Structure 1
Amino acid sequence: MADREGRLLINGLLRAVSHEQPLDLAALRGHGISPALAAHYARTEWLERLGTGVYCVAGARLDRDQCLLFLQGRIEGLHVGGRTALAWQGVRQYLEVQERLTMWATSRGVLPAWFTERFPGTLTSMSLFDEATVAHGIVTPPAVTDGLKVSSRERALLELLRQVRTRLELQESRELFFSTQGLRPTVAGELLTGCTSVKAVRLFLMWAAEAGN
């Protein structure tokens, strides 16, 4: 490919895409850039190779939400859940010095290194709910980037309780539960019925009764 044509393609890409988002090979092909040409642009420092078949604009500062939207298309059922979902909806005990994301997925998946190096977090790959309710309670809360999947407060509490292992985690979860206002009985009831974790259901019902819900 002539140098002039190569420059035209990369300049067109830089004008057309957000510099805050990852780009996979399909996105690059949409701008006329083949895998071989993408590798060339990485060698010449127009693009940065993040991982196998994933690039970004060289020197770009990736946006957390744009990266999450990208990963939603690659990991089935990926959503922000548990403690992070509660914090994004105003339920938290303290402000973290550096946010540590809690994510869930309904299929086996691994967060890529390029993501966790920038946005530390954990991914739980399992279905906490039966087939009828596996997608219930996943929403995009107000003030969250459009299209980003986040657990509702009711679902996030069950995810949080499923992961309780120590006495300290139990106490922290209890404090978060009693700090959560406006739980919806209908939504909670559907999720409790479909939840496959006996521990999470038992703790939720016990504390809900204590709170008079």
Structure 2
Amino acid sequence: MLNRLQRLLPEGLLADAAWFTAEGYPSSLRSRYLSSGWLEPVMRGVFRRPLKTPGLEHKKAPLRWQQVVISLQLVLKRPIVVGGRTALELDGFGHYASSAGPREIHLYGDERAPGWLTKIPIEASIVFHNARKLFRAEPISDALERLMSVIAGDEPSQFATIHGSLTWMRFGDGDWPIVLSTRERAMLELLDELPDRETFHQADVLMEGLVNVSPKRMSVLLRDCRSVKVKRLFLWFADRHAHAWVGRLDRRGIDLGSGKRMLFKGGRLDPTYQITVPEDPNAGG
């Protein structure tokens, strides 16, 4: 049983009590593994396989948010990916996506996240979003199934384009893959947070730095997006910054709805997209 657990749960990754029970490890056996040091408690009902760190054998290695996400994706098989601001940071836009206050990790999923996820003791707070509220297609669960093939080496070069809006990168000494939104999808996810959790100025700076975008992928995502607000905002920003890819967007079939959208109090109404935008786009609000 222990050898099997070592295969199922790699060092540094975690699982909850429901997973252990489903895999045939009752609470009595978990207690034995905890007392012998084969498992360590993370929080009530969540356990981790200890990570061996040279020189720190007698200290508990800190739990990083990436290990939590990888555990969700690879061990617990939860349809959850990194998205929004966090995906943009991982994609190299960290200098554009600076944030004041405690760091937030934005995760998106097809279904409800486990109750312990937003309470887990890590260096940042986790914000969970329902991916289905923003996009109709592109099921995350299908993409994670494909990831299993990537790990097995069956299709290492195709995964990033299978769904068009999800990609992956390696993390840590274990070289584990972590699945995240492409920059095109992540930008739409971030715009969905305006004006409550993200600022207009922050989105403007990010769009200015979004020089390399796939027009085909972006066009598909805009057609698939459920939010009229997000689509209008994206196209307004795209026109404003006029990157080379903007002229290659296929705008046919993108439903922009009807009527005006009051997004920013005291702003001006843009006549093309019928949304209120700040008088000064460079302002911090």
> TM-score w.r.t. structure 2 length?
0.59
Q: Aligned ranges for residues 1-213 of structure 1 at < 5 Å? A: 18-24=10-16, 34-43=26-35, 46-51=38-43, 54-57=46-49, 59-72=60-73, 74=76, 76-92=78-94, 93=96, 94=98, 99-110=103-114, 112=116, 116-118=120-122, 119-127=124-132, 128-131=134-137, 133-135=138-140, 136=163, 137-141=165-169, 146-166=176-196, 169-212=199-242, 213=246
Residues 133-179 of structure 1 show CA distances to partners (whole Å, capped at 9, x for unaligned) of 44540111477854311000000000000111249712211111111
Alpha-carbon distance between aligned partners in 1 of 2:106 and 2:197, rounded to the nearest angstrom: 20
Contact 1:140–1:146 (CA<8 Å) still a contact in 2? no
Q: In structure 2, how many angstroms separate the alpha carbons of the residues matched to 1:207 and 1:112?
A: 37
47-56 vs 155-164, which deviates more? 47-56
Structure 2: which 5+ runs fail to align? 51-59, 141-162, 247-285
Secondary structure of residue in 1 paired with 2:89: helix
More helix by share: 1
**After the TM superposition, which of the residue ranges 115-124 and 178-187 deviates more from structure 2?**
115-124
Give aligned pairs, total.
Answer: 203
Identical residues among aligned pairs (%): 26
Displacement, 1:11?
9.3
Tell me the distance in 2 between the aligned counterparts of 1:12 and 1:138: 31
Compared CA separation, residues 45 and 142, structure 1 to 2 (3 A): closer
Letter in 2 for 1:129: F
* Structure 2 Cα separation of the partners of residues 167 and 21 of structure 1: 30
Q: 1:46 to 1:171 in 2, by over 3 A?
A: same
177 and 116 in structure 1: CA distance in 2 versus 1, 3 angstrom threshold = farther
Work out which structure has the larger RCO, using CA pairs closer than 8 Å and 6 or more positions apart in sequence.
1
Secondary structure at the aligned position of 1:90 is classed as helix
C-alpha distance 19-98 of structure 1, shift in aligned 2 (>3 A): farther
Query: Is the 1:19–1:61 contact (alpha carbons within 8 Å) kept by the matching residues of 2?
Result: no
Backbone CA RMSD of aligned residues? 3.6
Residues 95 and 39 (structure 1), Cα distance of their counterparts in 2 relative to 1, 3 Å cut: same
**d(CA) in 1 for partners of 2:196 and 2:101?**
23
Distance 1:161 1:15 in 2: 40
Q: Following the alignment from structure 2 to structure 1, what is the Cα–Cα distance between the partners of residues 20 and 48? A: 11
Q: CA deviation at 1:57?
A: 3.8
Write the distance in 1 (CA, Å) between the matches of 2:7 and 2:223. Answer: 50
TM-score by length of 1: 0.75
